[in-house]
Amino acid sequence: MTRKERHIAIIYKRGKSLAKEIGHEMKIWLEKKGIKVNLRQNVDESQQLEEGIPIRISPKTEAVVVLGGDGTLLSVARLLSNSSIPVVGINIGGGMGFMTEVCMEARYEVLERILDKDYEIERRIRLLAEVKRGDKLVFQQTVLNDAVINKAALARIINLRVSIDNDYLTTYKGDGLIIATPTGSTAYNISAGGPIVYPTAEVFLLTPICSFTLSNRPIILLDTMEVEVELEEKAGEVTLTCDGQVGLRLMPNDLVIVKKAPVPLNLIRTPFNNYFDILRSKLKWGQN
């Protein structure tokens, strides 16, 4: 009986020589154990769209190892938007990230655990952001952190009419609106005064940006709900940005629809740091 071939993908931060070097070392280590390795740098999405560069991760892949920081992991999450392949992040910049929580010194121990299937999975909800212009769908993107609608620096206050499951909520007046997952609650959301939410909670958040109405506060919604945001007729320079990395210039009367994506991100949970360790470290809680 032939032994079943095993596949691991390693994706390293584009333009980071140290990440590339470590990726090659890990590839050699895995291949000595009979593992087939797909090693590549993370995708340049603008180049991929312009040049049609194929992006493929084999469905046989049992885990994806990301070498970089949280930004690299966000781009990989988009690459795997319809995939349940588990992902683990190894932070190349030193310390830990909110998602790339494994330090470099622990990388081979993590690989051993993956090969032994000795790990737990955290299922992180993702959102699907769509833009409708009239009857036409002009944009669709899966996001792990957040979908942000905001105005240009010198543009006037924008009015965003928000409905939840077709029920009118309010019209936000201000610089914009953040629609964030629990994973993204520690990104732009926290800077705008939104709450920190435990990353596996089955909810998402609406957080206004510099609201003109002081009574407009962040709201936590069930992840089964659908949010519709309609731009006013006179909206000027307004942009939808997904995970801070890809986006679209919006037009007056565009309708932005955000709902739970069908496939969550399966994040490999390691025993090295718990979520509260990461919060204390990244937010410098308890430090003088």
Q: Are residues 232 and 141 in the same domain?
A: yes
Residue pLDDT, tens place only, 56-70: 788 889 999 999 999
Q: Report how many domains make up the chain.
A: 2
- Quick check: is 196 in a domain? yes
Q: How far apart are CA 161 and CA 112, in angstroms?
A: 51
- Quick check: is 166 in a domain? yes
| CA nearest to 185, candidates 283, 41, 254, 88 | 283
Is this model's pTM higher than 0.95 or not?
Answer: no
Query: What average pLDDT does the segment 279-283 reach?
Result: 82
Q: Are residues 136 and 249 in the same domain?
A: yes
Query: What average pLDDT does the segment 124-146 reach?
Result: 96
- Quick check: is 139 in a domain? yes
- Quick check: is 90 in a domain? yes
Q: Are residues 182 and 220 in the same domain?
A: yes
Whether the per-residue pLDDT at 48 is higher than 70: the answer is no
- As given in the structure block, the two tokens for residue 222 are 């069930």
- Quick check: is 251 in a domain? yes
Q: Are residues 118 and 131 in the same domain?
A: no
Q: Are residues 221 and 253 in the same domain?
A: yes
Q: Are residues 170 and 271 in the same domain?
A: no
- As given in the structure block, the two tokens for residue 181 are 């997952």
Q: Are residues 250 and 269 in the same domain?
A: no
Q: Are residues 57 and 158 in the same domain?
A: no
Active-site residues: which are they? Answer: 70
Q: Are residues 78 and 144 in the same domain?
A: no
Share the mean pLDDT of the chain. 89
Q: Are residues 148 and 165 in the same domain?
A: yes
Share of the chain above pLDDT 90, in %: 70
Q: Are residues 155 and 95 in the same domain?
A: no
Domain span holding position 272: 6-124+264-283
What pLDDT was estimated at residue 43? Answer: 75
> What 3-state class would DSSP assign to 56?
coil
Split at pLDDT 50, 70, 90, the class of 246 is very high
CATH at residue 18? 3.40.50.10330
Q: Are residues 249 and 279 in the same domain?
A: no
CATH at residue 188? 2.60.200.30
- Quick check: is 288 in a domain? no
Q: How far apart are CA 148 and CA 113, in angstroms?
A: 37
- Which residues is 116 bridged to in the sheet? none
